[in-house]
Amino acid sequence: MSRVYNFSAGPASLPEEVLREAQEEMLEYKDTGMSVMEMSHRSKAYDAIIKEAEQDLRDLMNIPDNYKVVFLQGGDSLLFAGVPMNLMKNGKACYIITGQWAKKAYQEAQKYGEAIAVASSADKTFSYIPDCSDLDIPDDADYVYICENNTIYGTKFKTLPNTKGKELVADLSSCFLSEPVDVTKYGVIHGGVQKNIGPSGVQILIVREDLIADGPAKPYTPTMMDWKVQADNDSLYNTPPCYGIYICGKVFKWIKKMGGLEAMKAYNEKKASVLYNFLDNSKFFKGTVTPEDRSLMNVPFVTGSEELDKKFIAEATKAGFVNLKGHRTVGGMRASIYNAVPIEGVEKLVEFMKKFEEENA
């Protein structure tokens, strides 16, 4: 068996140790006589799996008791509607547009109330994070929304915006569990797991209890998108994505074994520095993001020639470095170096890039 170095933006690399554990338990989980994929979500065995997964996540993120943790399905894009449906009680919310996903969330929110773009980096192709220290936020705004790490464009909020006392809602899909987070600074954290935590099909919602105490803001909110219903039923209102949550639980334990989020951040910084240091010193390859706003998870870069970009992607793929093609809206290349991507893979990628530069400069 020969595994490639997978730099996909999502679904993405999972820890090999987790995959091997899942392989061993595929036919029979513990002494149940069946696979997790076959067991009832109402069984004692699965109840233990989902509760343990939630507790491990709470431990990793130091999630306070007054926050609910919910495992949902439908893809994180479903929450672009779920956020305003559940939170837009005054019918007004602020959005900071730093990329494709924040823009889509903003556009979706316009269906349910007044969505106001209070800052944007679209003027420079989302290559930086705008100054959010003194935003014009209306007094009656329900929340301020950000996509904290921008998968496509490779930017990251290093300082959270000044929300003027309004609730901060953050999509953490592509930086979930990559570093410590102070959950108390957010009203809501949400994200799909397929980038840094598990297989596609699961999304995680972390929401402060008082925000959902009275139910959704919009009376027409579908029951399945009603966060209070989902929280009150401990993520088991209907059949959840059982196997995906099981894998997430294993990844939570793997991160704990690695030393937790502080250790994860240090490892991710070390990995990213290998690639960014090369890009900063290369006369051939060039990073596309303002240095102070660079993501640790997603690193876009270009040669300056579409023809050479295509050649690099083709040769890299043959060499075992896959899914390096940039998003269709950006072009160029992008290396997503999530938690499970080993530093050896980044080092070997840089070696390949040096060789390609020597041969094509």
341: containing domain: 260-360
101 and 157 in one domain? yes
289 and 240 in one domain? no
Closest by CA position to 56, among listed 198, 302, 256 = 256
- Of 196, 224, 257, the residue at which a domain comes to its end is 257
Say how many domains are in the chain.
Answer: 2
- DSSP 8-state symbol, 120: E
Closest by CA position to 229, among listed 246, 208, 214 = 214
pLDDT for residue 361 is more than 90: no
264 and 131 in one domain? no
Q: Give the pLDDT band (50/70/90) at residue 1.
A: low
Q: What is the DSSP string of 164-180?
A: TTSEEEEE-TTTTTSS-
Share of residues in the chain with pLDDT > 90 (%): 97
Catalytic residue numbers?
101, 171, 195
The stretches of the chain forming alpha helices (DSSP H) are: 16-24, 44-61, 79-87, 100-109, 227-232, 242-258, 260-281, 306-318, 343-360
* 92: β partners: 114
168 and 64 in one domain? yes
Closest by CA position to 254, among listed 5, 3, 15 = 15
| pTM for the full predicted model | 0.97
Tell me the residue length of the chain.
Answer: 361
Identify whether 190 is part of a domain.
Answer: yes
Order the strands of the 286-287 sheet from edge to edge: 286-287, 298-302, 333-336
| N-to-C CA span, the chain | 35
Identify whether 1 is part of a domain.
Answer: no
pLDDT for residue 160 is more than 70: yes
